[in-house]
């Protein structure tokens, strides 16, 4: 398995709109070949911090994804988005 964690920071007072759009994105992400699961997590102490966690069958499956689903949701996410970082984890 291969896990991608995208640590997003929503704009101040826009976290609910960003979270809802992220949920729609992750729900559809579950249908992408190679995706085992995709979820949204929100920091209870800092609601602007929202994680998108995608569990892939393998790193190769993740790397072969063309990103078209993200491009579909980008216009919906962008107005509420401030910054992000991406971390990846592989099973040992």
Domain extent listing, the chain: 2-90
* pLDDT > 70 in the chain, percent: 100
- The per-residue pLDDT for 20 is 97
Quote the pTM value: 0.93
Domain 2-90 sits in CATH at 3.30.70.100
Q: Confirm if 86 and 4 have CB atoms less than 8 A apart.
A: yes
CA dihedral 62, 66, 69, 72 (to 10 degrees): 150
- The per-residue pLDDT for 91 is 87
Average of per-residue pLDDT across 1-29 = 97
- The per-residue pLDDT for 23 is 98
Average of per-residue pLDDT across 58-77 = 95
Question: With DSSP H G I counted as helix, E B as strand and the rest as coil, what are the percentages for the chain, rounded to 5?
Answer: 35, 40, 25
Give 85's Cβ-side CA count (13 Å radius).
2
Is the pLDDT confidence value at 92 over 90?
A: no
């Amino acid at each position: 398995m291969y896990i991608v964690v995208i640590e997003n920071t929503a704009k101040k007072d826009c976290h609910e709109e960003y979270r809802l759009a992220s949920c729609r994105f992750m729900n559809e992400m579950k249908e992408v070949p190679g995706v085992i699961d995709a979820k949204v997590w929100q920091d209870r102490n800092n609601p602007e911090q929202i994680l998108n966690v995608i569990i892939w069958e393998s790193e190769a499956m993740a790397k072969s994804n063309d990103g078209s689903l993200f491009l579909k949701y980008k216009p919906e996410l962008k107005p509420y988005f401030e910054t992000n970082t991406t971390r990846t984890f592989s099973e040992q």
